Amino acid sequence: MATPEQYQVGDITITAIVEAETLGIPPQFFFPGLEAADVARHAWLVPDYADGNGNIGMRVQAFVVRTATRTIIVDPCVGNGKTRSLPFWNGLATDWLTRLADAGIDPAAVDLVVHTHLHEDHLGWDTTLVDGTWQPTFPNARHLYTEAGLAFVRQRSTDADPIYADSVEPIFTAGLADIVTEDVDLGEGLRMEPSPGHTPGHASLWITSAGQTALITGDFMHHPVQFADPEIPEVGDVDVDRARSTRRRMIAAAHDGDALIIGTHFPTKPAGRAVADGDAWRFVAL
């Protein structure tokens, strides 16, 4: 992961900043009831998205979107030093900020932070621990939230997972927060579209420039196996039926618009296109 992965969409550049990539995960860890053999049946998933035994890879990554005038970060990962009940997200000490710098991005030059939703793996780097207090990592950026997203993160925050206190409240305290609707138009060809089900208020980012289109999924899907079977629920999906219909609708829209789909948790090669396959799709990496 020495060279940051970049995708070009017209005049807009999208860079993946990876926090963690884990391979060889038994699929039922994320997809209850999904057996490795069910994954291995889809040969096109191997080797980029699953191994020959049907165990899967997953990433936590943010995407930096650079337009003619702005630098925008989408879903800044888990962050360092956070108290989290999930052992593999607790007290992380990754070099994500170094990777961001290696990609040529100065945190002070970030204009906008966008969240598809407020799960703890999508907002952690909004703050950094400085002299014992959580401070904004991107001190000159506006940070966008929805009312539904804020209600959700407040309700989920506990002493074991103080997500609101360590990652959201400091942004409001610093005066860097804006509350927007799920369908907000961000200008320069960037537009959020509501994609609910995984969480209330979930939205995904469409990027259009010079006749080309891309879609940053957020968590309406988690892994390319869900192209083959969009019915597969992810363990964190709050409203399973709504997540299923959202998945089909968003994949169909991306397919019909020939959009580059960029999967927020997809491993190895997160960008590609949906190709029709029976009554569902395959994912063909860029």
Chain contacts with Zn ion (rule: CB under 5 A): 119, 121, 219
Given the complex with Zn ion, which of 166 and 219 has the nearer CB atom? Answer: 219
To Zn ion, the closest distance from the beta carbon of 10 in angstroms equals 27
To Zn ion, the closest distance from the beta carbon of 286 in angstroms equals 21
Given the complex with Zn ion, which of 12 and 215 has the nearer CB atom? Answer: 215
d(CA 185, CA 187): 6
Given the complex with Zn ion, which of 99 and 119 has the nearer CB atom? Answer: 119
Given the complex with Zn ion, which of 5 and 75 has the nearer CB atom? Answer: 75
Residue nearest to Zn ion (CB): 119
Take residue 32 and report the two structure tokens written for it: 């209850």
Establish whether the linkage from the previous residue to 139 is cis, with ω within 30° of 0.
no
To Zn ion, the closest distance from the beta carbon of 37 in angstroms equals 25
To Zn ion, the closest distance from the beta carbon of 89 in angstroms equals 10
Given the complex with Zn ion, which of 170 and 201 has the nearer CB atom? Answer: 201
To Zn ion, the closest distance from the beta carbon of 119 in angstroms equals 3
